[in-house]
Structure 1
Amino acid sequence: MKRIISLRMLLIAVSIAFVGCTTESVDTEDPTLENTQQLDTNCTGDDPKAMITNDSDTTVDMEIFDEDGNLLNHSYAVEPGEESDWKFFAEGQVTVVISTESSYKAIPMNMGLCMAYHVTINENYQLDTDQPTQL
């Protein structure tokens, strides 16, 4: 088990370093699409948060890592047709990793207070956005 975790952390560290050089089957459809998720616009210094909606036909994982590769929060095995709860984490540079059994996408972003990232993965394993929303 310890070796699996170490290999996973190595994979994440390498993917963070080379995120622009990888090829993933989880693509972003259009980064200009607006986030249609109903968001709380009365934010008063809340930690950033992220959630995923799964419109694909397989389970999806979402992991949030800080710039040192430490896991800050996660949502594992989000079933088709379901969405995760909001996952809160400390502000700063993070990488949100969206993965299925056959695809992987690492999305680096700088998340400040009162920011939210809601992403949907569709039936073609494409993501609807790679941009967070300021609340």
Structure 2
Amino acid sequence: MAVHFNDGFDNPVAGENIKNAVTRLGVDLRTITSDWRESKDIRIAFLKASTPGLEVGTDLGYFAALYGAAVRAGVKTILTGHSFRTEGIAPLSWTYVDGRYLSAVQRRFGSVALRRWRPDDPGFNLGLPHLFYYMVLRG
């Protein structure tokens, strides 16, 4: 199973490329689309906060979507890919996924409240308690 997270800022060509790839490979595709108001408000909140991590919401959304899709499908193991050429050279402070940080920026600079966490539909919630649930309790 392949999981595609669309936060509303996707390029339609990228979406078509994903569909073509999974069709040729014979892999099921689950596309998870976030709430547009929530995604847009997170992006605006990070702009207002003037932080270097404008993509924190999208990055966190990818991982939350993977965990949520795994819960729905009963999958225990998740494999992900990463480009060390393009992202491995970034400063360490830019490369972490921190749900608590996202929540703090959203509360202070955003205008739309993040929706509540559910194991099968986490939204943009992925802090330590959520990771503990997915990695330890669900194993």
Q: TM-score band, normalised by the shorter chain?
A: under 0.3
Structure having the higher helix fraction is 2
Q: Which has the higher contact order (CA 8 A, sep 6+)?
A: 1
- TM-score, structure 1 normalization: 0.25
Higher fraction of strand: 1
TM-score by length of 2: 0.24
Larger Rg: 2
